[in-house]
Structure 1
Amino acid sequence: MERQQTPGGVDRPRLRSVAAALTSLMALAATSLVAGPTVAATPTSMGACALPRTPVHHSAGLDTWNNAYPRPDHALDAVMIFLSFPDSRPLTEPHDLVADHFPATSQFYERASYGKFALRVHPGKRWLTMPHPSTSYRITRDWDPVDRAAYLRDALRVSDPGVDFSNYDLVYLVADPDAPGVDSDATKVVNFDAPMRADGTDIKRAVTVFERHPPDRNVLAHETGHVFDLADLYHRPADGKGDWDTYVGDWDVMGSQFGLAPDFFGWHKWKMGWLDPRQVRCVRPTGTTLLTLEPIAAAPAVGGRAGTRLAVVRTGAESAVAIEARAATGNDAHTCTEGVLIYKVRGGTASGGGPIEVVDTHPHSEACWDRSVYPPLADAPLGVGETFTVPGNGERITVEVADRTSTGAYTVKITTSPPE
């Protein structure tokens, strides 16, 4: 679900010409499916271990790209629009709110993509006043579709005269954080049932930002990930209480924007076009594979050949086990532990349902209880000299971390065998 992550019941800091067309606006929450054409990718280009993209929302499958979403493999431009309300005078200036998110968000993506993607923000310089009081829109995380549609209709109506939407790939609608009706828990991406038409371009979705000043860490990196068809990786308890981070813990910003190791999984980097085929190793279903894994967050060596960043064992028609190295560098500079991370990928599981689950190679211990969003998974990576057999698969997959090189890469042996 495209929303700001805020776990309930957990004792730690809050995790957390348009007018005519707009009259028929229907906004869907991020759990809706936005269909679109695909870009074909052959098994030769993606590899035999590339899971197929399925109809579920934000499928982890990556053999094709959903063209309903922009792919971040080139520079994209984002407009940031600032919305005030007649019942409140803003206490902050737009440039202060820009600084809350940029250049940090652009830098996060520059590091994550190894410089292959640039997010260029174009912020407005003044507040645009909405026609109704903030309280009239009844802004909440689980926003009523009618109220949400009214907000979006008014936001685009007041911004259209001064914004040429044809110049932008992403839209950030930033509300006055001090207005009485603004709920910081409502930050999310909203997909439109039918694209809005403005300035000769389709607007398919918008990021509605209701963050406090200063905001939650990495919140815009998380929400922007949804714009690129990435799923929520947290688990939302049915009653809103309990732990939200049982699927991936600190690993990947699509799980928690507060994670200690928020860089994207190698699987996501492969999906978005940041890893090329030479950096992904499809492991044979039977036998032993010896390889060296460069940390997923490490910057590429200058002038060096692209080393392996991700190993994948196909376990089914829509499932795989992924193996990558995580180290204290780049976006993962503040990680709790280093080592070889193992996780399961399910291409047929929708956003919020656990499309990716980290395998805890130390199930009887935890780490960084004072900093981690979920200490039981903070020590999930396998260390040098350790061996682990992945549970729950018909085939047997054993991962051994033999050594760590002088450059920080890990020497890994993966042994696979068919079901007994």
Structure 2
Amino acid sequence: MARPSLRGVVAAATSLLALAATSLVAGPAVAATGEAGPCALPRTEVHHSLGVGDWNDAYPRPDHSLDAVMVFLSFPDHHPTYTPKELVADHFPATTQFFQRASYGKFTLRPHPLRQWIQMPKASDWYGMQRDWNNERRSVYLRDAIAVADPKVDFSRFAIVYLVADPDAPGVDSDATKVVNFDQPLHADGTDIRRVVTVFEQHPPDHNVLAHETGHVFDLPDLYHRPSDGKGDWDTYVGDWDVMGSQFGLAPDFLGWHKWKLGWLDRRQVVCVQRSRDITLESIAAVPAPGASIGTRLAVIRTGEGSAVVIEARSATGNDRTTCTEGVLLYRVRNETPSGGGPVQVIDTHPRTDACWDLSVYAPLADAPLGVGETYSIPGAHARVEVAGRTPSGAWTVRITTGT
């Protein structure tokens, strides 16, 4: 079948306004109803809202297999040192395996890398790549990338587009790696391209960086805090406890709330706490045996129209196998707080101590979880959480007392 000419792609790209991942506005808010349950916060208009009441159809939902193309871009001012095959191995199969474990086998990310470099029309340093990239130069980069790739890529086949730059080209800045959303989608091969992942990583790259960026493709927010002066700690909101906070975290599996939003958990695995009760929580990172039940993974206490406290267990298994501490993690979720503003904040149940200073991205939160025999009263939630014990299989027995 004949494919549309490149002319349509270039025409659309000429008026391109490229927006960084922190600027695309989500769709309208819809109240939580039906299967979502009374503790499911509704989605709001903020970017990457953590409402779970419905899905924003502007993003692909990773509740089935999705195909991703990897395009390798070289520049006239540098001959690539590495082959595309070597750069693919930096990210795959590790990223696919990360998502398979995180989703309990419900999602498979299928990469389709090109086998050759495709040369961009301008020198690498012309594009001015950097974290806070000039919008005009970035737009030209994206327009050029789609134009040179189009003869070799049928974009209609792919839900995700990775544009991988030659890591050793003189103008490439690894800090510029990010998801870029388009104010107006590009059109190629009869499909809309709403966003791309621009990869400028060194070889080898930052650990789990592609898992983090792909999380944005699925409408997940940044959970780190960027200091206004660029100095100080970036990881004060969630520390090690989610790859969307830091790809270097010791316990980088997605928080259970993220898994609920993505469709990897449903009401059968989420307990909405409205009275005092005991709950047995399976570790959020534990991958069930084939055919086995996922079990209960989350307990949620709704604290307001747009806020909740979430309780989950974290253990040294699956994506969390390198965790500093094990226990029951508590955190607050707010659906009206945008990406980068602290939509999730881990509750430090041991505020006077820290752990793993030599390894943790933020040691004060490395020992945030409650251990067996410990109790914590949640400020503002009128609830007390006690870790009563562990089962022979390793699950955590949690006693939640409301009305305190």
With the length of structure 2 as denominator, give the TM-score of the two structures: 0.96
| Alpha-carbon RMSD | 1.2
- Alignment length (residue pairs): 397
Contact map agreement 1:37 1:68 (CA 8 A) in 2: no
Contact 1:343 1:357 (8 Å CA) reproduced: yes
Partner of residue 150 from structure 1, selected from 135, 140, 146: 140
Alignment of 1:182-201 (within 5 A): 182-201=172-191
Q: State whether residues 34 and 191 of structure 1, in contact with CA within 8 Å, keep that contact through their aligned partners in structure 2.
A: no
**Contact 2:69–2:111 under 8 Å retained in 1:** yes
**CA displacement at 1:42 relative to structure 2:** 5.8
Q: Does 1:415 align with 2:401?
A: yes
Q: Is the 8 A contact 2:25 2:45 kept in 1?
A: no
1:48 and 2:38 are equivalent in the alignment: yes
Aligned to 1:209: 199
Q: Check whether the contact 2:31–2:43 (CA below 8 A) recurs between aligned residues.
A: no
Structure 2 residue runs without a partner (length 5+): 1-7
What is the deviation of 1:20?
A: 1.5
2:370 paired residue number: 382
Offset at 1:415? 1.0
Cα displacement (A) at 1:409: 0.3
For 1:122, what is the secondary structure of its paired residue? Answer: strand
Q: Deviations over 1:266-317 (max 9, x none)?
A: 0000000001211000000xx3111100000001244433411000000000
Alignment equivalent of 2:383, drawn from 385, 397, 407: 397
Distance 1:302 1:165, change over 3 A: closer
2:352 to 345, 353, 364: 364
Structure 2 contact 32–40 (Cα < 8 Å) conserved? no
Deviation beyond 6 Å, 4+ runs, structure 1? none
Q: Is the 8 A contact 2:353 2:364 kept in 1?
A: yes
**Matched position secondary structure for 2:151:** helix
CA distance in 1, matches of 2:132, 2:277: 47
- Distance of aligned partners of 1:41 and 1:319 in 2 relative to their CA distance in 1, 3 Å threshold: closer
Q: Provide the residue aligned with 2:15 in structure 1.
A: 24
Cα deviation for residue 36 of structure 1 reads 4.4
What SS is found at the alignment partner of 2:197?
Answer: strand
Q: How far apart, in 1, do the equivalents of 2:212 and 2:251 lie? A: 13
Residues 25 and 46, structure 2, Cα contact 8 Å, conserved in 1: no
Aligned residues of 1:320 and 1:345 also touching (Cα < 8 A): yes
Q: Which residue, out of 39, 60, 75, partners 1:85?
A: 75
Task: Please give the alpha-carbon distance, in whole angstroms, between the structure 1 residues aligned to 2:293 and 2:359.
Answer: 36
Question: Between the two proteins, what is the percent identity of the paired residues?
Answer: 70
2: CA distance, partners of 1:257 / 1:90:
26
Unpaired runs of 5+ residues, structure 1, are 1-16
Return the letter of the residue paired with 2:355: A
| 1:281 alignment counterpart | 271
TM norm structure 1: 0.93
**In the TM superposition, what is the alpha-carbon distance from 1:37 to its structure 2 partner?**
7.3
Q: Distance in 2 between matches of 1:122 and 1:309?
A: 33
* In structure 2, distance between residues paired with 1:189 and 1:323: 30
Give the whole-Å Cα distance in 2 for the aligned partners of 1:275 and 1:236: 30
In 2 relative to 1, CA 369–237 (structure 1 residues): closer, same or farther, beyond 3 Å? Answer: same
